[in-house]
Structure 1
Amino acid sequence: MPQQVAPQGQGTGLFVNPAAARRAEFEAACGAQFAALALADSADAALAVLDGGSVDLLVIDLDRFDPELDHAGLTRLVRARAGAPTLILCPFANARWLPALMACGPIDYAIAPLDDEALRTAIKTRLAGAPTPPPVPTLRERELDALAALRARVRQALGEGEELEALAERLCRALAGWPGVLHAALFYLQPGGDLQLQAQAGERSLNLAKVLGRADRLLQSPLRQAFPGLLAAAGNTIALLDDLDKAGEPALAASLREHGAEMVLALPIPSNGPGAPRGSLCLLFRAARGFSRDELEALAELADLAAVGLRMADMNRESEEMLVRVTHLSTLDALTGVANRRHGETLLEQEIKRARRYKLPLALIAFDIDRFKNVNDRYGHPVGDMVLRAVADAAQHLVRASDVLVRAGGEEFQVIAPHTSAIDGLKVAEKLRTAIEATAMPGVDQVTISLGVAQLGEHESADSLTVRVNAALGRAKRAGRNCVELAMG
């Protein structure tokens, strides 16, 4: 219910805040400045006061008001003023109220917290009929031109890059070009992760990672409730710190002032749907200044554009990751995880070209599992599949990093061995043979392999090399299996 305070000063006032303690504090600090002061705990109670008579100055203290629950009532209250003097006391950590209330009619605002002297000065200025003067037309035009240019630079930044890192850097450079901006930063909430400082531009001596004490895991930062860039991303709100001391962090304020910053504005980058924002845009200014409705709406539009850009970057990254996975899967044998036959043929052609260009030897080893059909017939195909995987794993651990293991089909495998002569190829093949013979195979008795080795001839094709190594493998089979044969030249 509204309360009436005895006349003391000049002009009539109406102070609105839901907390009785806050209303009492305002009365004690500023009551003497009014001839009559009414106190209201809600927008409806304030509207009742306005219906009962004229009010020279309406003061709405947004502390304790909920943007979701109280938005409709407060917008009705501002509209009811029809342009009459209205002062909004807006917490620096919840400045998203400002563009919403500015859309309802002319208002003046002050960023809270304010000490009693600063509050009395703000009230005295408005009661005297001298609110913050609007910019002269030429300055106003320059501000609007600067906003239009900034939007154009941001759109260009978003259109030029697809990768997140490059996009974020271009976006920060564009924002740092706005008049009065000392430094710009983009904080990004990683999918399934934490908030990190993605990019920054502007004053070279100013590194926000050093100011904040870290560049990632910023949602766990002790400055989460003080620095606007973190506040906006964590709380999904506009944060406007027009006086660095209002954050209550002297070390933070001193560090920012050391680099020439006097004010910080941060806007959340909206997500694609409900939930936490994608991050925030953070602007550090050389001097404190006020913002018009057009400016705040334009900055919110920039945050929306950033959200579109980030989503495009995410989609491009997801597409690239999917392409890598598809490409990876298309080159691998699904059962054993080694290179499949088609990819093996491509790699062999590449290694032959490289061997010829640099005049280096190249060996091809072919092997297959002895009497593998008996394994499938006796134990079943599931056991046969386990044997194939075990043989591939054993061979993969034995070959060198430069070698490529290929499943050529069925129980047949190849090893492409660059920089390897026939003699060295025989040594590699013998190691493979003894290793497989000594490997315990799941569900079966001992498994052995037969192998053929061939060195690339001076003018030989991949097909000819494959024919020769398979012929050597055939001789190993006929020689009793579990042995190595060298291909004839």
Structure 2
Amino acid sequence: MSEQEGVQRPLSGVYLNPAAPRRAAFAQACAGLFTQLRLAGDAGDAARLLAGAPDSLLVLDLDGFEIGIDLAALGELVAARAGAPVLVLCPYAGARWLPALMAYGPLSYLIEPLAEEALRRELGVFLRALVPETEAADPCALLAVRAAAQAALAEADAADEADGGAGFGERLCAALLGWPGVCHVSLFGTGAGPRPRLQARAAAPSAAGIDLGAIVDGSARAAPLQHAFPGLLAAASGETVLLDDPAKADVPQLAAALRGHGVRMVLGLPLPGAGPGAPRGALCLMFGAAQRFGRAQLATLSDLAQLAAFGLRTAELARENEALLGRVTELATLDALTGVANRRHGEFLLEGEIRRARRYRLPLALIAFDLDRFRNVNDAYGHPVGDIVLRSVAATARALLRSSDVLVRSGGEDFQVIAPHTSAVDGLRMAEKLRAAIADAVIPGCDHVTVSLGVAQLGETESADSLVVRVNAALARAKRAGRNCVELAMQ
């Protein structure tokens, strides 16, 4: 029995493609499957041909068309069919055409590239069946997958913020394993690197052995990653990629690796970015068997891609907010010139250390010091050198202090050291070390500088204000005693 005899009824066809060589090649390969095959180079020609034979099959070959330019005209052709058969030949890297055209009306599709014999065989099978594609998945299953993906986003927590959204990504991939036929799900994100990176993955038991890194790295030897693996191609190009046969990617190593793990179809869904430009990443779904998608399935997949993009953006915003909060905290608590605690933060820390010392009955010392005749430094060398002196003094002091000690810039050239677990005697030793180290420090653009210091130990019932008053009084005595010396505060 001939191929024509296998068709249930005589059928004519209209083939539409803008390239004359491609029209001629299709006619040579498939004209024998039709009672009559007519060729059209644009949507207007196809509409006129279909008007004369409304029952003809419209074969819409998208190779050479641009979705941003031709979608409306081709969509009107699909809408005008009013249920008459439409078969779309769609490049595997241009699968976003499918939901866009399905919005105009029902259609069937084949994924290209197809060799001449394969195209003839697939078209013959379609003509023998000659029914529009039906939804292959249970609508309840689609709702369950959507609900699980929404729950993955709702469960986002502080841990997700810290790991860059990996927790959300793992939950989302696990939710998408509920899609009928899916055996492996991966999430790719675009970042500062040259290629999208794998952020999360989940696999069914049958596909647990898939080493996605090895598959991707293996394909790199034959072709750039973005031109081979659907997940990376979608993340790099922003196009939906539907590879219903791994061999169509024309990368034998990749096809062998996928088939070796039982993968027969791979779908790459780009995640929309915040604006025009590169996508935020991609979802990659691997299937154990090739299947057809209907309009509801493609709409659900688009919603899932939007959800994944929203989850990644939420994690990104959380990281940005955390960094911003850290920066604001730094500006609010640190002195901009020296990088030590500023006066307000120093007062807060001193109050905390006083409460801790009282609670655990531990000694607490406060050291106050300022630079001797600092105004002369500014007058002689200028304020830029004065800034260098302040930074150098702060750096010298911090190098001597313990990790538990806190250095505070309490005024222009005034500093304090909050020294927990330190008695008056130990505070005197610490102050003397500071005095000697600062006096010996080499400061660029300036002679050596000295400091005067006062030391006070917290009294049993003393407040922070009282402690500061006493230590400043000791500092004033050190100034009157000739500077470059240490004085102990009186009780």
Q: Which residue of 2 aligns with 1:3?
A: none
Which one-letter code corresponds to 1:86 in the other structure?
A: V
- Are the structure 2 counterparts of residues 367 and 272 from structure 1 closer, same or farther at C-alpha, using a change threshold of 3 Å? same
Q: Which residue of 2 aligns with 1:53?
A: 53
2:145 aligns with one of 150, 156, 161: 150
TM-score, normalised to structure 2, is 0.86
TM-score, normalised to structure 1, is 0.86
Q: Which residue of 1 aligns with 2:247?
A: 245
- Are the structure 2 counterparts of residues 260 and 484 from structure 1 closer, same or farther at C-alpha, using a change threshold of 3 Å? farther
Which one-letter code corresponds to 1:77 in the other structure?
A: L
1:283 paired to 2:285: yes
- Are the structure 2 counterparts of residues 208 and 422 from structure 1 closer, same or farther at C-alpha, using a change threshold of 3 Å? farther
In the aligned structure 1, how far is the partner of 2:247 from the partner of 2:419? 68
1:209 paired to 2:251: no
Where 2:199 maps in the other structure, the secondary structure is strand
Alpha-carbon distance, 1:95 to partner = 0.3
1:175 paired to 2:179: no
1:404 aligns with one of 403, 406, 424: 406
Mapping of residues 328-477 of structure 1, within 5 Å: 328-352=330-354, 362-376=364-378, 381=383, 383-418=385-420, 420=422, 424-441=426-443, 444-455=446-457, 462-463=464-465, 465-477=467-479
In the aligned structure 1, how far is the partner of 2:296 from the partner of 2:201? 25
Cα shift readout 1:127-146 (whole Å, capped 9, x = no counterpart)? 334347636xxxx6x62111
More off after superposition, 56-65 vs 188-197: 188-197
Aligned pairs, how many? 471
Where 1:346 maps in the other structure, the secondary structure is helix
* Contiguous gaps of at least 5 residues in structure 1: 1-8
**1:472–1:487 contact (8 Å) kept in structure 2:** yes
Which one-letter code corresponds to 2:339 in the other structure?
A: G
In the aligned structure 2, how far is the partner of 1:365 from the partner of 1:348? 12
* Contiguous gaps of at least 5 residues in structure 2: 1-6
**1:370–1:482 contact (8 Å) kept in structure 2:** yes
**1:56–1:127 contact (8 Å) kept in structure 2:** no
Which one-letter code corresponds to 1:197 in the other structure?
A: L
**1:14–1:55 contact (8 Å) kept in structure 2:** no
Where 1:24 maps in the other structure, the secondary structure is helix
Alpha-carbon distance, 1:408 to partner = 1.6
- Are the structure 2 counterparts of residues 251 and 361 from structure 1 closer, same or farther at C-alpha, using a change threshold of 3 Å? farther
Q: Which residue of 2 aligns with 1:327?
A: 329
In the aligned structure 1, how far is the partner of 2:392 from the partner of 2:369? 14
**2:405–2:419 contact (8 Å) kept in structure 1:** yes
**1:340–1:408 contact (8 Å) kept in structure 2:** yes
Q: Which residue of 2 aligns with 1:115?
A: 115
In the aligned structure 2, how far is the partner of 1:170 from the partner of 1:151? 12
Cα shift readout 1:283-324 (whole Å, capped 9, x = no counterpart)? 122221111011101111222223333333333332222222
1:36 paired to 2:74: no
In the aligned structure 2, how far is the partner of 1:461 from the partner of 1:61? 85
Where 1:274 maps in the other structure, the secondary structure is coil
Q: Which residue of 1 aligns with 2:65?
A: 65
In the aligned structure 1, how far is the partner of 2:360 from the partner of 2:75? 78
Alpha-carbon distance, 1:366 to partner = 2.0
Q: Which residue of 1 aligns with 2:197?
A: 196
**C-alpha root-mean-square deviation of aligned residues, in Å?**
3.0
**1:426–1:453 contact (8 Å) kept in structure 2:** yes
Alpha-carbon distance, 1:375 to partner = 3.6
Cα shift readout 1:162-221 (whole Å, capped 9, x = no counterpart)? 53233222222222222222122221223787522121223343342343239xxx9xx8
Which one-letter code corresponds to 2:331 in the other structure?
A: L
In the aligned structure 2, how far is the partner of 1:332 from the partner of 1:250? 59
Percent sequence identity is 60
Cα shift readout 1:78-129 (whole Å, capped 9, x = no counterpart)? 2232222221111111100101111222211111112223211222123334
In the aligned structure 1, how far is the partner of 2:270 from the partner of 2:240? 6
In the aligned structure 2, how far is the partner of 1:101 from the partner of 1:128? 24
**1:184–1:200 contact (8 Å) kept in structure 2:** yes
